[in-house]
Every structure is written in structure tokens, then in C-alpha cells.
Structure 1
Amino acid sequence: MTHNALLTRTDKTLPARQLAQSLVQVAVARGAGEQKLLRGTGIFSEDLLTAKPLSCNQLQRLCGNATQHYKGFDLAFQFGHHLVSAFVNDALPYFTHARNFGECLRALPSFQTRLYPFVSAFRYDEGDDILLVLQDAMGSGKQFRFMAEAYCAALVALARHCTGKRLALHFSFPFARPRQIQEYEEGLGFRLSFEQPFFTIKVARAELATPCLQPNRMFKQFALRRFLEQREYRVTLLDAVRYHLRRNSNATLPAIAGELDLSPASLKRKLADHDTTFSLLHDDIRRQQAIYYLQVQKLNNEQSALKMAFTDITNFRRAVKRWTGQTPSQLREV
């Protein structure tokens, strides 16, 4: 990877006609004023009708305005559903002609930086299920809940568009059950869990084999080739750092900066621009791994420590307590 391949919050590459226009249309339909939505974003009404490139910063400001002025509680779900049709002439042809839903799911990372760069998903295989842990790919901070909910709704809509069915996707959220539960049920279905350690989507492996309605290998490959020719960035900066930390949990900031063709000072500055630090990203990954192995898979300390490259069990226990606030035994009991 070179630094030119890494999408950051300030890079202007997102198509206004798809992302910004989709959000504005949904919000205006519920009584939000267009000018209030665009205020402070650097986006103008005429931009919504063009392919003018916008930055993630601008879209994040627009999301902030939309959540403030939208009259209702289902903005994220409406936006997510709307996104699928917004890319009908861009990325959607690939998914339309895929062989099955599993192929659609595997392809999503290739399209992420143009379709929806705010959320990425790390995949764990669990025998009969796969688990997608949603990650903040663009430093959305407090807005990540909105971004993640929109991602979940978009996945529901994509599955229905491609397969003609509402697949059995199970969604888990790291917050209490909301009072407006009907919006979640209408947007995502009834397989919902709350007060969980992180945002996840669980998909039964049998659902991955659900065939798409219009499979066509030639059309699919043509759509992918056309899309990749237009794509400017392969991955977000935050996901690139996460990738190297997962490969080597002991990697240092200078080492990863070198892998990304950046100076340590530049990488540190760019992470600060995304409201995070190297240490925070590292701890978040290790917290995620500890919860997955101990709470989800119910592995014992020795098995979990081995998977997380610890050679000393005492150090493992201390690290888990620091990352999660709980001991390994407490995590397994949840």
C-alpha cells in the first residue's frame, strides 16, 4: 500500500449525487429544510445534481445536520435503504449479477471506499455462522451509531434486491433497547439484540448460499472491472492500520508507518485528524479479540491467550481487564 491508496476524511472523492443527495432527499421528505441540512457542510444545492466529489468530513457534517432536523427516529434506516438504489448505475450491477448472497458479502470491502467508507466489517467464521464486527472506518465518533445503523439497513436492502428475499440477519447493538423499537424492527427485522459488546451482524452460513435473481458471470466481471477503473482509493487509513495490527499485534507506529509509506509523524497526525490515536486503535482491536474468544467462543484462558499471541497467562489476564474492564472469567459468564 502507498499513502495515495489510503482514503482519509479530507479526501474529496465521494459522489455527491449518490450519498449526499440520498440523505437530503430522505430528510426533506420528513420536513427538514434543505438549506438547514447543507449549512456548514460546504455542499450546495446544485452539487446534489452532479457527480461533484465530496469529502467524508462534509458527509459527516451533513449527517449531523440531518439527525438534528429530521422529524422522526428512522433516519438511519431510511438512508440505508435509499443508498442501494442510489448506486444503481455504479456498483449495484456487480451485486445484481452475483451468484449468491455470500459472493455479495465477500465483495463489499472492494466497493467500500466509494459506496460507504464510514463503516467496515471484520469477519469471524463460526462454523454454522459468520460474524461481522462493524468498525469505525472514518473516525465518525459519536456519529458511528448512525453510520452503523445505516450500514445495517443498506445490507438488508441489498440482500432483498439481489435475492428477492428478506434474509435472516441478526443484528446486535452496544446500547440499551431503544424506546422506538418499532423503527428498528421495520428497518432491520426482529432478530435484534441490545446491550452487546459491539455492533455485529450474524449471518447463518446457509443464508450465504441464497441464490441471486440474475446471476451472470460475464456481466458481473464487467461491472467489477468498470468500477475498479473508477475507484481512487482501495482502503481507508484507519482500516489500513487495523490490517497491519491484526497481522502483528506487536507492531509499532513507526513500523506500520513504514508499511504505509508514511513518516511516523505523518501517520500520527493523520490519525489525530480522525480523532484517534495508534494506541486507541490497537486497544480496540485487542478488546474486540478478547471479547470474541472469551465471550462469544467461550475459549479458556490458555486457548484465548494462544490465539492472541500471549505467552504469559498472568499478563493476558491483566491485559483483558485493562481492555474490557472485566476478567476473562467474567467475560465467559456473560
Structure 2
Amino acid sequence: MSDSSPDRSTVANLPVYLLRCLAATAEELGVAPARLCMGLGFTVEDLSNPACRVSYRQGSLMIRRALQMAPGQALGLRIGESETIASIGLLGYAMMTCRTLGDATALGMGLQKFAGSMLQFDMEPGPTTTRVQASNRFPDPEIYVFLVEEAFASFLQIARGLVGNSFRPERIELAYPAPAYAAEYRRVFGCPVLFDQPSNALVAANDWVAKPLLTYDPLSHRQALEFLDVGTLREQDKVDLFESVERAVRQNMQDLPTLADVAGRLHLSARTLRRRLADSGVSYQTLLDNVRKGRAIELLSNTAQSVEQIAIAVGFSDAHNFRRAFKRWTGSAPSELRESMMQKDASARA
């Protein structure tokens, strides 16, 4: 892993829960699942193996194929609607045995990799509501909408599995324009759905977040966590450290934290954090740039904000410095990349 480009998209560490559901839904739509997997290094049968792991890149290629073979099907919403808490394996059981819906959600946020998530999630409690925010793990505009649809529709089904079918979010905020099938969002979520927002968020009232779970069982919960071997995996997996740092940056994008700030949030000294990152072959600046680049691409592809507004949103004091940094990150100017993505989107809709 080089310091200039820590490419984690090729590491086979994702459980295949989402891809298994994708294969089943594709078959219902008349698309042979085997065609979706062809040449990707795994088969449809592999998706039924709990030990199977794929890389983000493999998963994204399978999703692209499905979207091409079943256009206009609200595929992400359809898959998310079909999922239950059992769809995420042992993590689902660990969530069921939590004390409250908020505790279960926090556990899911902390152990996202066990669910096979291809997005990054953050939980932000507020005075009256709690936001579950979804952002790109890797800049990937072609499947971005699908991933957000699936994630929030799945979260809704999981929450209802935990506290009952009466659960409703306060609202859904989405950082992209309304698709042609926008009415499907309102049917699925049963709440206001707002498009062209600054970020993707499912917003729930804190009364729901504090709702006790009837399946709470502290002993079973402890056993589930021990079986997941959380402590050992967190210690051994460098990706967890990277994601913890990146999460701290995302939560303070307009007032970027220093390495010492992030270290404090992770209960580490600045020296220890710097050493652990160096041992993993990456610097704090590289992770900072990755987050800013990903968020900038997300905003360029999915909102009508100006380049100047995006510069401020990702922590730059002026658009000139942002353009210079963006050119260094991607090889293109922000306006050039936006135009290119708009042309691709128009071609896909045609």
C-alpha cells in the first residue's frame, strides 16, 4: 500500500449479503444471476457461502451489470425492501439482543464491515432526532444512487424488524436529483423524501431511537460479540483505523481536525496515531485528502452546488486552492469532471 494511493477497493473483505440479495432479485426480473458474476472471480453458488468475501471493486462491477440489464427498476429500493435483519447474518442477531434501537444502530455503525456495507455510515444524535448518514466509501457515481437506495430501504426493514412495523423515519434526505421513479421512495419510506440535499440521511425521532427491544438479552449479546471476535479483528485490521480517522474528518469537514484532534477522539496520543498510520503505510494527510476528494466528487455528481460552495463544504477557504488540489487528486478540474459525469448520466438515461 503506497502512501500516495492506499487502494482498499481491491481488498476482498466484504461479506456478500448484498450481492446475494441482488442475485435473487435479478432472477425475479428475468436476469440470469450467473451473467452478473461471470468473470468476476466468484460464482452464484459462492454467494451462499458465509465465508465468501469479495472486494468493493468486484461488488461494484456486479451491481453495474445488474443496473444495465434491469434499467429503471428502482433496483436498490427493491432489494432493500426484501431484506430483513437476518439478511446481515450474525451481526443482525447481535443487534437484536441490544437494549434499544439506538444501541442496535450504533452497533451496526461500529461493525459495518460485518454487514457487507459498500457505503460508509455515521450516526449523529441531535436534541430531538438522530441522523444516520451515508457517504461514499469510494467515489463511484455509477452505482452511488443504487447503494443509497438499498442502504436506507434495508435500514427501514431492519428497524421495523427490531421495533415493529409502525416505525417511520421523520424524513429521508438525498444528495442527488429525484429519479423518474421518485414516487417509489415515498411508497417505500412513508415519510417526506427530500432530494438535492447536502448529504444522504435517514432522520428518526429520538423517541424511536430510545425504544427498548423486546429481544434484548445481555448474555446472548455478549456471546454474539465474542463469536464475531470483535476485539481481535479491530486490533488486526488496518482498515478499521483508516475508517475511524476518515469518520472523524467527515464529521468536521468545514473545520478540518488536526491529527492531534483525531487522536484525542480515538483515545490515542498524536504520536501513537502517527506511528500506527506510518506502520500501515499511509499518512494522515493522505486520508484527509481521500475524504475531501470523495466528498467533492459526491457533491459534483449529485448536487447543483457551485464549485465555490463545494470548496467550502470540503474545508477550503477559497475556490482557487480547491481547484488546484482537485486537479492534483484527480487529474481533472472540478468543472471538467462534473461535465463528464453529467454526459455519462445523460447517456445512461437515454
Instruction: Give the TM-score, by structure 1 length.
Output: 0.71
CA contact under 8 A between 2:174 and 2:199: conserved in structure 1? yes
Query: How far 1:183 moved relative to its partner?
Result: 1.8
The answer for the alignment partner of 2:341 in structure 1 is: none
Cα-Cα RMSD: 3.9
The answer for the alignment partner of 2:342 in structure 1 is: none
The answer for the alignment partner of 2:38 in structure 1 is: 39
CA contact under 8 A between 2:93 and 2:224: conserved in structure 1? yes
Tell whether 2:155 aligns with 1:155.
Answer: yes
Aligned residues: 286
Q: How does 1:1-334 map to 2 (within 5 A)?
A: 8-16=8-16, 18-50=17-49, 51-70=51-70, 72-87=72-87, 89-169=89-169, 170-228=171-229, 233=237, 235=239, 239-243=243-247, 245=249, 249-251=257-259, 258-262=274-278, 266-267=281-282, 278-279=288-289, 281-282=291-292, 318-319=317-318
Q: Which has the higher contact order (CA 8 A, sep 6+)?
A: 1
Residues 244 and 215 of structure 1, relative CA distance in 2, 3 Å threshold:
closer
CA contact under 8 A between 2:85 and 2:157: conserved in structure 1? no
CA contact under 8 A between 1:30 and 1:72: conserved in structure 2? no
Query: How far 1:259 moved relative to its partner?
Result: 4.7
CA contact under 8 A between 1:137 and 1:239: conserved in structure 2? no
Instruction: Give the TM-score, by structure 2 length.
Output: 0.68
**What is the alpha-carbon distance in structure 2 between the residues aligned to residue 249 and residue 286 of structure 1?**
17
Query: How far 1:196 moved relative to its partner?
Result: 0.9
CA contact under 8 A between 2:106 and 2:123: conserved in structure 1? no
The answer for the alignment partner of 2:345 in structure 1 is: none
Q: Secondary structure at the match of 2:277?
A: coil
1:223-262 deviation per Cα after TM superposition (whole angstroms, max 9, x unaligned): 122123595747557634414546862449xx99945434
CA contact under 8 A between 1:244 and 1:251: conserved in structure 2? no
In the alignment, structure 2 segments of 5+ residues that lack a partner are 261-270, 299-311, 323-333, 335-350
**What is the alpha-carbon distance in structure 1 between the residues aligned to residue 273 and residue 14 of structure 2?**
25
1:129-173 deviation per Cα after TM superposition (whole angstroms, max 9, x unaligned): 122332212443432221122110111011011111342212101
Q: Secondary structure at the match of 1:26?
A: helix
Residues 92 and 127 of structure 1, relative CA distance in 2, 3 Å threshold:
same
The answer for the alignment partner of 2:305 in structure 1 is: none
Q: Structure 1 stretch 241-250 or stretch 279-288: which is displaced more?
A: 279-288
Alignment-mate amino acid for residue 22 of structure 1: C
Alignment-mate amino acid for residue 36 of structure 2: L
CA contact under 8 A between 1:98 and 1:104: conserved in structure 2? yes
CA contact under 8 A between 2:130 and 2:209: conserved in structure 1? no
Q: Structure 1 stretch 76-85 or stretch 225-234: which is displaced more?
A: 225-234
Query: How far 1:21 moved relative to its partner?
Result: 1.7
Alignment-mate amino acid for residue 211 of structure 1: P
CA contact under 8 A between 2:77 and 2:149: conserved in structure 1? yes
CA contact under 8 A between 2:168 and 2:189: conserved in structure 1? no
**What is the alpha-carbon distance in structure 2 between the residues aligned to residue 68 and residue 23 of structure 1?**
13
Query: How far 1:199 moved relative to its partner?
Result: 0.8
Q: Secondary structure at the match of 1:267?
A: coil
CA contact under 8 A between 2:99 and 2:213: conserved in structure 1? yes
Residues 81 and 224 of structure 1, relative CA distance in 2, 3 Å threshold:
farther
Residues 52 and 133 of structure 1, relative CA distance in 2, 3 Å threshold:
closer
Query: How far 1:188 moved relative to its partner?
Result: 2.3
**What is the alpha-carbon distance in structure 2 between the residues aligned to residue 56 and residue 87 of structure 1?**
19
CA contact under 8 A between 1:13 and 1:114: conserved in structure 2? no
Query: How far 1:192 moved relative to its partner?
Result: 0.9
Q: Secondary structure at the match of 2:180?
A: coil
